[in-house]
Amino acid sequence: MSREAFFVVELDGPHDFQAFKLFAVARAGWIWGVAGIYYVAPERPQRFHPPDAEYPVTRVASVDEAISRHPDHRVVVVEQGGESIAGFNHPDQAIYVFGSDNDGTRAREGADHVSIVTPNPRGLYAHQAAAIVASDRFARADRPARKRRARR
């Protein structure tokens, strides 16, 4: 079975900062080999462009919709108060859920819940957490880095 992960991020709205956060999540996923990004938002954030024209960034109506597209993948909720990512074993097939910065994400029965411990009790923004999770998952995997295309 191949290793495959998707990220799901909940956005707070279509304003410019949400476009920046979605780009940051997509860029982290693209760099570290995440298969694709789903985002939950009322509409596509204004001025958002994916980091690569071929990289899949898909708007969905809900986190549940994204999860239902990959029923064989383990759901991992990234939140404050979960198991520390330092001791977490990433599933081969996973969907990582990052809540909105204002509302977080709701607990999901049967999901793994992991946390990135910081010295500040306010925690991380979703795009920061996504970069850390993508990097941690890649660092623990036994696979070579993919080749990058030359810039034009």
CATH code assigned to 4-140: 3.40.1280.10
Q: What is the pTM of this model?
A: 0.83
Taking the C-alpha atoms of residue 111 and residue 136, their distance in angstroms, rounded to an integer, is: 19
Which pLDDT does position 1 carry in this prediction?
43
Residue-level pLDDT, tens digit, the chain, 152 residues: 457 888 888 876 555 567 778 888 888 888 888 899 998 876 666 666 666 677 888 888 889 999 999 999 999 999 877 788 998 999 999 999 988 776 777 767 889 989 888 887 777 888 888 999 999 998 888 655 455 455 55
Taking the C-alpha atoms of residue 82 and residue 131, their distance in angstroms, rounded to an integer, is: 18
Which pLDDT does position 68 carry in this prediction?
94
CA angle 92, 97, 101 (to 5 degrees): 150
Give the Å distances, CA to CA, from 90 to 25, 27, 142.
18, 20, 12
Which pLDDT does position 100 carry in this prediction?
76
Which pLDDT does position 2 carry in this prediction?
59
Q: Which of 108, 118, 139, 126 is nearest to 32 (CA)?
A: 139
Domain boundaries, the chain: 4-140
